[in-house]
Amino acid sequence: MVLLTPALRALKQVYPESNVSLLLRPLVANLMETHPYVDTCIVDTKTDGRLKSLTRLVRLIRADAFDVAVVLHPTSFRNALIPFLAQVPIRIGTNIAGRGMLLTTSIKDDTDVHEVHRYLRVLRLLNIENAPDALEFWHTDADRKAIRDRLHAARIAPTDRLVAINLGTTWRTKQWDIANFAKVIQQIVGRIPNTRIVLTGSPAERELAAGLPTSLPVINFVGKTSILQLGALLERCEVCLTCDSGPMHIAAAVGTPTVALFGPTAPVRHKPYSDGHTVIEKSVGCRPCYKRTCYRSDAPHLCMTKIETAEVVKALETKLYQKSVQHKNHKKGV
């Protein structure tokens, strides 16, 4: 959803009087209902079964008499079928897996570009070229205040240097070992004065956080913020250590440098999208595999286990040093 923003912004800027409705799943409905370039959301619940849910959506979209359907999902056949059955006059998207026959105009998919540009390429079919590609996140001052209050309650001073560590990710194959995170936390806190570690993550990742030694000096925000508050929290941090994950992209969108650990996915497509980030990856013959389960019997999860704590610590120290220099130069007016 974060990586869609440049495409949604371009649509709204080119067609400022339009109503942009976004068809999405319940998981991200609350997030996108406050998106600055989306007017309405149509939630695809699939609770009535595939066929009944499909029929309901088709009737709803047909009744709203949309002029254009922009199928931004790069591979979903269903997402192209819905506007076809709803008889939307103009239907554009990528031609993959035979779905080009459902579209009035299509473009060949390209998996050798970042996902931001994978979405923006589709807009060429509407003659929208060279759209700005900067990311945005739409948290508010109320979210920032909520985080300031939470940090104050956790006895974090405004001068404390915050490092966010996002422990989890949606795929097991993207996950770095929790013991490695523990070593990194211990070394960073020991080496850099006034540094506080903030753990981030969803409620599903509370068990991961519980796997850290209780002696580690961390502030645990895992499962304790809304997703918009997470944006405000990451904005306050100087750097974020993360695997390939949604919070990684949120950090990039709010301008926080990341140290991003990559295994089964390709950074060219999924790396943090902006300058100032460090990607750590290892040359393993089977990657990028895009598998949610690792099938290597000789060395399971080798692409992630080869990433060593020493290089991660070094990357974090470099980011914190750069931030310190930037802060000093700012105070001097350089």
Tens place of pLDDT per residue across the chain (334 aa) = 999 999 999 999 999 999 999 999 888 888 898 999 999 999 988 777 778 889 999 999 999 999 999 999 999 999 999 999 999 999 999 999 889 999 999 999 999 999 999 999 999 999 999 999 999 999 999 999 999 999 999 999 988 999 999 999 999 999 999 999 999 999 999 988 889 999 999 999 999 999 999 999 999 999 999 999 999 999 999 999 999 999 999 999 999 999 999 999 999 999 999 999 999 999 999 999 999 999 999 999 999 999 999 999 999 999 998 877 676 665 556 5
320 in Cβ contact with 238 (< 8 Å): yes
Kindly write down the DSSP assignment for every residue of 6-22, as one continuous string: HHHHHHHHHSTTS--EE
29 in Cβ contact with 48 (< 8 Å): no
Rounded to whole angstroms, the Cα distance separating 280 from 309 reads: 11
What is the Cα Rg of the chain in Å?
Answer: 22
As a residue count, the chain comes to 334
- When the candidates are 3.30.360.10, 3.40.50.1220, 3.30.70.20, 3.40.50.2000, the CATH number that belongs to 5-126 is 3.40.50.2000
258 in Cβ contact with 320 (< 8 Å): no
56 in Cβ contact with 23 (< 8 Å): no
At the topology level of CATH, where does 141-332 sit? Rossmann fold (3.40.50)
Rounded to whole angstroms, the Cα distance separating 24 from 277 reads: 29
Identical fold, 5-126 and 141-332 = yes
The domain spans of the chain are 5-126, 141-332
Rounded to whole angstroms, the Cα distance separating 5 from 71 reads: 14
Rounded to whole angstroms, the Cα distance separating 125 from 219 reads: 47
**What does pTM read for this prediction?**
0.93
